[in-house]
Amino acid sequence: MTSSHFFFHFLSLFVIFLIIIKVSQVHGIGSVFNVQDFGASPDGKTDSSQAFLKAWDQACQNNGGGTVLIPIGTFLLNTLTLNGPCKGPMFFNINGLLKAPLGKVQDDYWLLFEHIDGLTINGQGSLDGQGPSAWSMYNDNGPNPPSSIKFNSISNAFLQGITSINSKFFHFQINKSQGVHFQNMTIIAPGESPNTDGIHIGDSNDITINKVNISTGDDCVSIGPGTFNVHISEVNCGPGHGISIGSLGKYQNEGDVNGVIVTNCNIGKTQNGLRIKSWAPSPPSKVFNVTFVDINMNYVENPIIIDQHYCPHSSCKSQGESQVQISDVKFINVKGTSASKEAVVLDCSKSVPCQGIELRGLQLTLDGQQSTFATCENANMKFNGPQIPSQCS
């Protein structure tokens, strides 16, 4: 075989390989189980929950795994639990629109995936949590509304392409999971919608969020206790409450948070930008090894804020200090405009002051010209180099 023939033979094999990879990303590997073959109706009115469950069970028990295929159409689904373990990798390929039931429901999830190792949720479709029908029906003293998708004990999951609209509570809730990756997704809810966090992570590790557009009524991304090794990059956030670690210290024996990197993100017209918050008083825990770098702010009310006196209810005020130790936190090259003159707030605990807080390369102005200032309490910090603001007032 001549070298040119070898090259074209190799090129042909490579193209075939790419086609196989593309097909596997869209449809999955192994047998395909179309929910309509199990009785799902695309009319948006007929409950298709049992058909989805049957398709999932068949795919899950298929040797080598399988794909649950949701074709174009509108499918009404009630609360649904999709269990593992499965006999191979699972693909949940959404091309249509999934609609949640209207109004208040009993469970704290709409779609629950649990005990699965190897899960891909992808496609060009959407999930509509129908939040406007339920937001006014819940209050802080009752049970939580349902998250649109909840993960329990999931390993090696990949979410790509899909859109989540108007969740009743969190859009995505990650619990006791590892190796969960979000990429090229859209998350949407009105700015006034309550508790519609885009992605909430708790007691989980090795989480990546890349190229996700999040417009919501609460935190774009919230990182709860017991979470480590989180990498957030190229996220567009706004409206909402920004990217938050916490709230922490509400319960006894919470796990620490460490190894969080947030880079190359755009945050616009949000209540907060980059935030760490803990309750006061609180039991002891730790937050450490956190880096925010190359973040662009556009008219953000609190671009940088550490709040260790977080208390959304008046009953907990003036009852003590947070015992959450915050240390080794870096804010590097955070630039843009603030909606207030006070662009940096470091409100740390008197009992366990913040340690090793570094601010470098800040350029935060009120309107592109007017300088802003920083306020700092109980914080061991340093401002490195000429910047705006350049010190605590």
Question: In the annotation, is 171 catalytic?
Answer: no
Do 335 and 306 meet the contact criterion of CB atoms below 8 Å apart? no
- Residue 50 amino acid letter: Q
Q: For residues 286 and 325, what is the distance between their CA atoms, to the nearest angstrom?
A: 5
Do 217 and 196 meet the contact criterion of CB atoms below 8 Å apart? yes
Do 151 and 180 meet the contact criterion of CB atoms below 8 Å apart? yes
| Catalytic option among 115, 241, 309, 313 | 241
Q: For residues 59 and 293, what is the distance between their CA atoms, to the nearest angstrom?
A: 42
Neighbours of 102 (CB within 10 A): 11
Phi/psi of residue 299, nearest 5 degrees: 55, 55
Q: For residues 301 and 299, what is the distance between their CA atoms, to the nearest angstrom?
A: 7
Do 350 and 384 meet the contact criterion of CB atoms below 8 Å apart? no
Q: For residues 280 and 349, what is the distance between their CA atoms, to the nearest angstrom?
A: 8
Give the DSSP H/E element, type plus range, for residue 163. Answer: strand 163-165
Q: For residues 8 and 97, what is the distance between their CA atoms, to the nearest angstrom?
A: 42
User: Which residue in 236, 244, 256 sits closest to 197, CA to CA?
Assistant: 244
Q: Which residues are catalytic?
A: 241
